[in-house]
Amino acid sequence: MIIARLIADQASIGSELETRLERASDALAKAGTPVALAGMLDFSGDVLQISLAEGQPVAVADILTDHFGGCDLLVADHEIEMPRLFVSDMDSTMIGQECIDELADFAGLKEQVSAITERAMRGEIDFHSALAERVALLEGLEESAIERCLAERIAPVAGARTLVATLRSKGCRSVLVTGGFHHFADSVAEMIGFERVVGNRLAVADGKLTGALDGAISDSATKRRVLEEELALLGEGARVLASGDGANDIPMLEAADYGFAYRAKPKARAAANGRIESEDLTAILKLLGIPQSEWVEG
């Protein structure tokens, strides 16, 4: 059984939605995954649910995207349930910025660092070497620039606090796992409501960044490992939600029951069975089937 949910543009609800659904149904049937049932969710008038007897979630998501455009969607191989664990990336996912790019601006190096970040997130270059190269460029920057950067540049994306607060009210644990830095992530986690933080640490000496890291690197393998560690504590049957935007999030997204690529780079989007193209993370709450009357403002 496959359950697909997508958020229909209010302007397309009606005859246009019916036309798109008909064309998508034809494409799904040709792919060997015929639609068994389709209709709007009673408690969320803009969420279309489609039931299929069989299929692969990512393949179904691709077909729906082809016919409904850049919509927010989730496809699962089971009835969609409330997750008990939420593991998320930070940069360009829970916050709207890449922290290292913004910090580099204080050293006059934003353009150079941003170019490396973009290639790493697209999976075009190795994450470890890209991280080391960018951190090295920050050598000599005053540690105080981090506090300024946090205060002046870093902010949660729309719906981030509500997403985490609502999940927590439903008994879901939230963990922030980033390839970024504790200097930022600890404050972001407190700001949004995450219960645990895993990330990299910038080395500091005499009040300045040394251009190196302090301790082990937090990377794509770390993200998946943390997900698996947390899941093991919850026991068999617990559903996992994950979100991220870059290539280094792929192992985590693939390991989750509901892996959401948030306004993501192509490789991450292609690997995910959940996709958010709008800006507001409360779209995830809609797709999980949580009525807006039960949302908790963070």
Residue from 72, 89, 249, 257 carrying the catalytic annotation: 89
Residue from 9, 46, 91, 219 carrying the catalytic annotation: 91
Neighbouring residues of 20: CB distance < 8 A, sequence distance ≥ 6? 12, 67, 68
| Contact between residue 173 and residue 85 where contact means Cβ atoms under 8 Å apart | yes
Where are the strands (E) in the chain, listed by range? 2-7, 35-41, 44-52, 73-76, 85-88, 173-181, 196-200, 202-205, 208-213, 240-244, 258-262, 274-276
| Contact between residue 174 and residue 193 where contact means Cβ atoms under 8 Å apart | yes
- 66 catalytic? Reply is no
DSSP-H helix ranges across the chain: 15-30, 57-68, 99-105, 110-121, 127-137, 144-153, 160-169, 182-192, 220-234, 250-255, 266-271, 282-288
**Exposed / middle / buried, residue 296 (Cβ in 10 Å: 0-12, 13-18, 19+):** middle
- 89 catalytic? Reply is yes
The residues that are catalytic are: 89, 91
